[in-house]
Every structure is written in structure tokens, then in C-alpha cells.
Structure 1
Amino acid sequence: MMDVLVCAAPGDLRIERRSAPTPGPGEVLLRVRRVGICGTDMHIYRGTQPYLSYPRVMGHELSGEVVSAPDGGGLQAGDHVYVMPYLSCGTCPACAKGKPNCCMNIRVLGVHIDGGLCEYLAVPAGFVRKVEGVGLDEAAMIEFLAIGAHAVRRARIQPGQSVLVVGAGPIGIAAVLFAKLAGAEVTVVDGRADRLAFAREHLGADRIVTLSDETPRALSEMTDGVFFDVVFDATGSAAAMQQGFAYVAHGGSYVLISVVSADITFSDPEFHKREMSLLASRNATIEDFDHVLAAIKAGRVPTAALNTHKAALKDLSEVLPGWMEPSAGVIKAIVSC
């Protein structure tokens, strides 16, 4: 038997006792050790995640220890691992093109199917990767960092380019970090002074701008009206996503990391005048996970500063509502299972 934290309905988290899973053919049985809490989990708790049915076991930022693994797969009992939570089919046109992150039949742990806020989890072996040289806390942060790394890779940033990141939550912070590692000059816009300070102090953001009605003018003035080679939106706001088109320089790129259940509109004359490249960025691929892991091992990711909050699985139902308040100052919270 094992403890499982279930979101039975919006605002209703409860510990249940369930039978531990029996791994099927080709599956790894994991003892889950750490789970990162992200915006998706908070949306599930609030009832604002549009692609989900209840009850659901949340949790897709996972690290753990192998209990058992198929023979010949390179994993053995005791190995420390992280999980790629995007369970792609491997056969659809997107997978055939090497883009399993946008698989047509994707199942994301903790969203479409039950995730990792439990003691044991069975996962197809192809989505479990061994980690060496990093701790379990750090391994549980690879997934959210990989989303930012993937967006930066999509943008093909060159050293010296000017980059704007709008939204300094965890995903925006990840984009800031990897844009800086790519050699860009990075400006960050957010409404929260604490997150802007974090971006400057821990990630090396070159300029920070507090969101206000004056933000368009401020960005225009600081760039002499040219604006930015690459703009990333990580706000989760349809209005902000639409406004961001105005911040892209002629010949520049706009990368939408945010996903909203709304139509996004823009001025076609302005879009064509700039010959703008508009890019979606969804999830991440193994190349991005490998890039993040290498950066952590090289000491280029401030993982200790990122991990601002911790709790045990049994206590999450009590602390999660508080973590969701801006005053809590959460960047990345890690749950021990």
C-alpha cells in the first residue's frame, strides 16, 4: 500500500491509501522522492486547468529511485532518475518528425493521467532517465527548466541579441536563465518586484521593468524605438500575449510559451511590416532535458536559490493554498514523498 495525494475536486486535496502499482511490460517502478509544484498544479487546485478531469493525482516534475526496471534498459534498482512526463506515442506524424513534445496523442503525467504525488509510480522505461552528479531536489527541477530551455532553442538566440521576457514566474525565469546562457542581453517585465529582483540578482537579467500602463513607452525608450530581437511571453494572459506583438523588432521573433484557452489576435499590417516570426513553444524534448542537466552539473543554474519552499507529501494540502499567495514568494516548491 502507499499514500497518494488526490485532488478530488477544485480546492479538495486528500491523502488516500491505494495499492502500489504493479509495473507492466516495459515499465519502471519508481519510488517517488521529490515532486516540484508548478503553475499547472495550482490551476488544477483552483479548478482553472481546462484539459483535466477530476479526481486527479497531480505532479509531473519528478525525481525518484528505481525499484525495478526491465532488463537491458540501462536502469537498475537504486538508480536515481528523473521522469520526462510527456508520454508520447512514438508513431504519430509529430513523433516521426522528432517532435514528441507535441505528439498528437500525448498524455502528460499529472494532467491527462495520474501523476507523481504518491509514493510509487510505474512509468514506461523510455521516459525515465538516470541522473548522476545532481541531487534529487535538483533532478525534480529539470522539467520546468527544460520548458524555458526549449523556448530559447526554438528562438535560435545568437550572442548579443536583445531579448525581452514578459512574465517572471518559474517558466519565465527559466527562459531568462537560458537566454542569458545563450549570450543574450535580457530585459524582464513583471508586475511583482520580488520576481524582478530575483531575475536580476540570481539570473543576471540586464534590465528589469515593473509592469504598468507606462510599460510600452518605457520599452520603446530603452531601445530607441527598435524594441527586441526576440520576445518571450510567459504570462498566461491573453491580453499580455496580444500586447507582446508590439515589442518585437523588425525581423524579430515572438515565442509564445504561455497557453491560454482564448483566441489571440494581432495586427496583420504590423506583423508583415516586421516580417515577424511567430513561434509556439510546447513542453520540451530530451535534448532540452540533457541541456538543462549539463548546465546544472556545470554550476550554471542557481538551483539552491530557485528552490524557495519545501514540504512533505502529507502536509501539502495544508501549505499549498498559502504557497499560491504572491506574498509567499514561491519560485519553486519541492515536495518530498
Structure 2
Amino acid sequence: MSLMKTLVCVEPGRFELTERPRPEAKPGHVRVRIGHIGICGTDYHIYGGHQPFLAYPRVMGHELSGRAVDALADGRIAAGDLVVINPYLTCGRCHACQIGKPNCCENIAVLGVHTDGGMCQEIVVPEANIYPAQGLSEQAAAMVEFLAIGAHGVRRAQMQPGSRALIVGAGPIGIGAALFATIDGAEVTLRDTSASRLELARKVLPEARFELVGEAAPGAYETVFDATGNIHAMNGGLQWVAHGGAYVLLSVVKGDLVFADPEFHKRECTLIASRNALRADFEHVIAMMRAGRVPVDALATHGTSFEDAVTNLPLWAEDRGTLIKAIIRV
């Protein structure tokens, strides 16, 4: 039996490099040799034991790029092509899938969360989850998935060019949303509690405005995006939405979303949940990367080898305020 190197979160606080059998081929699936892996906030949460319904041990990793080992039957991808993996495994049968919204499939399984992911040398995934990424670097391709999350929320908001957008939370998802709101022509303000995070974001979005929470000037925005992962911030964000505006929730947290109906109603506010991303969002991100509209070097602030990830991921989990995106090189 052929073995491959694999990074495994054995239990909260225990992250190891080990060997596991290479995955077996499946009909309708493609084998991908993993090249680069983006480390997501979810990975840090899994390592820290903050995913209560997750089964350990778990192979993390859902921000993935690599080389196709197999060619696709439809000719979209040949063996050796650089690809991006869509990590959302869907049923294809539920109502959401049937109406073209597999990102919110009722039976969704996300690689690296609900099932073992891509922190390994090879993975086998459905053909439909493989997108060509020629023209990108392998490192850039590993950042497509997290940027697609923000791009999806921006597309859901349907903003008009020149409109004012506020993004609360300057983590990777918030920066992605701010980047694609800017690409869509919005005037973007990014707000956070951390001055250091805002300074990191400034290198990606030099044309945006930046505000510290608590020092923000009064104002209203046609679209407000929450990317904080904090229920108190989510409940408080309505106050910044202009009358006739939209409130887009990129964060998913445990807790009750609560705000006064008169405040919500007088604005005739549109409340939008945004979950995961669709193929169109992945393709939009890839196209913007090819066009040079995404400052990939500024986004990739940290990197590590496969072997050194065992040491570095725990360190970064304790000090995430100094990075935007860390990438593992396989």
C-alpha cells in the first residue's frame, strides 16, 4: 500500500505530521497532487478545539491548489494542469442544489471540516469540484477559495458603482470582501478593533478608508458587510446601514441575531446571509487574479514548508493579528 505524508490534528492542541494511505480512485473523481494550502481561521479553530461538532482526528485544509493527476472527461483539464479545488461537497438532490445554490446545500460536507481535507500530498475529489487555474501561481491559486467567500457576499449585495460600502472586520474574509467591493466600483471603508490589522489591510487596499472601532465617524452606508465572527458586532451593525440599504452577514456564529424592529423596518433594510461561494465566484476571483486586480503578494504574508507547519500553525493560531494569509508549501 502506497503511503503519503499527511498533517493531522489528532485532538485539540495536538498537530502532527504522519503517513496515511494514498486515497483510492473513484468513478467521476479526479486525483490532485496538492501543491499549496492556505490556512483558514477554521483551521486555527479546529486546532484550538473551538469546533464542537468536529470529529477528531481530522485532516484539515480546504484552501487548496495543486496539479491534476488525471484528465477530465470533458477536456477542461489535462493531467499536469494547475487547478483550484472547490471544497464544498454537495448532494445534488436537495432544494438548494436543485435551484443552483449548492453553496448552501442541506447536506453539505466541507473538506477539512466535515470530512478529511487537503493537508496531504494527494486528494481525490469529484470532477465538478475542480477548476482550471492556468495563468496563476500555485500560491495564488491556494488563495482563490477564501477570496471567493468575500466575492460571493459582494455579488449577493448587488451594489451600484459609486455606492458606499462598510466592511466591519479586517480579517482575511473582510479584506476579500473589501477588495471585491472595490473592484465593483464601491467606495470602501474597512473597520476593525485592531490598528495592526488595519495596517496589514492598507497594503492590500491603499485606496480604501480605514477606521478603528470606537473612533469611527458617524455615517450611513448603502451596504454594510459584517466579517467579524462576533455576535455583538453583528447585532450592532444595523446602525450603520443607510435607509434603503442592505446588511450582509459573512460571519457565521453561534448566537441569536437581535436588533430592534423599528430600526430595521424604518430603513426598509435588506438582510442578506452569505454562505460559502459558487463556481461563478471562484471563476470571478481567478479572472481578477489573471487581470492583476488582486495583490496576491500582499495577501500572502506568511509561508511554511509541510514539515515546519507542525511548529508554525500553532504559533500563528496564537498570534493571528500579525498575518493575513499563511500558506503551506507541500
TM range (shorter): over 0.9
Judge conservation of contact 1:231–1:253 (CA < 8 Å) in 2: yes
Judge conservation of contact 2:62–2:111 (CA < 8 Å) in 1: yes
Question: In the alignment, which of 304, 311, 314 is matched to residue 304 of structure 2?
Answer: 311
Please report how far the alpha carbon of residue 321 of structure 1 lies from its aligned counterpart in structure 2 after TM superposition.
2.0
Partner residue in 1 for 2:292:
299
Letter of the structure 1 residue corresponding to residue 33 of structure 2:
R
The range that moved more, 248-257 or 325-334, is 325-334
**Is 1:26 the counterpart of 2:28 in the alignment?**
yes
TM-score by length of 2: 0.96
**Is 1:283 the counterpart of 2:276 in the alignment?**
yes
Question: In the alignment, which of 219, 239, 243 is matched to residue 217 of structure 2?
Answer: 219
Judge conservation of contact 1:4–1:15 (CA < 8 Å) in 2: yes
Question: In the alignment, which of 308, 316, 320 is matched to residue 313 of structure 2?
Answer: 320
Partner residue in 2 for 1:45:
47
Q: Give ranges in structure 2 of 5+ residues lacking alignment.
A: none
Please report how far the alpha carbon of residue 327 of structure 1 lies from its aligned counterpart in structure 2 after TM superposition.
6.9
Between the aligned partners of 2:207 and 2:53, the Cα distance in structure 1 is: 34
Judge conservation of contact 2:200–2:324 (CA < 8 Å) in 1: no
Letter of the structure 2 residue corresponding to residue 89 of structure 1:
C
Between the aligned partners of 1:47 and 1:205, the Cα distance in structure 2 is: 38
Letter of the structure 1 residue corresponding to residue 243 of structure 2:
H
SS in 1 for 2:307: helix
Judge conservation of contact 2:231–2:257 (CA < 8 Å) in 1: yes
Question: In the alignment, which of 103, 124, 127 is matched to residue 125 of structure 1?
Answer: 127
Partner residue in 2 for 1:155:
157
Letter of the structure 2 residue corresponding to residue 331 of structure 1:
I
Question: In the alignment, which of 83, 91, 94 is matched to residue 92 of structure 1?
Answer: 94
Aligned residues: 328
Query: Are the structure 2 counterparts of residues 109 and 103 from structure 1 closer, same or farther at C-alpha, using a change threshold of 3 Å?
Result: same
Judge conservation of contact 1:188–1:205 (CA < 8 Å) in 2: no
Between the aligned partners of 2:277 and 2:228, the Cα distance in structure 1 is: 18
Deviations 1:105-148 (A, max 9, x none): 11100000000000111111110111111110010000000000
Please report how far the alpha carbon of residue 219 of structure 1 lies from its aligned counterpart in structure 2 after TM superposition.
3.2
Q: Give ranges in structure 1 of 5+ residues lacking alignment.
A: none
TM-score by length of 1: 0.94
RMSD over aligned CA atoms reads 1.3
Please report how far the alpha carbon of residue 70 of structure 1 lies from its aligned counterpart in structure 2 after TM superposition.
5.0
Partner residue in 2 for 1:188:
190
Judge conservation of contact 2:13–2:48 (CA < 8 Å) in 1: yes
Judge conservation of contact 2:6–2:121 (CA < 8 Å) in 1: yes
The range that moved more, 10-19 or 228-237, is 10-19
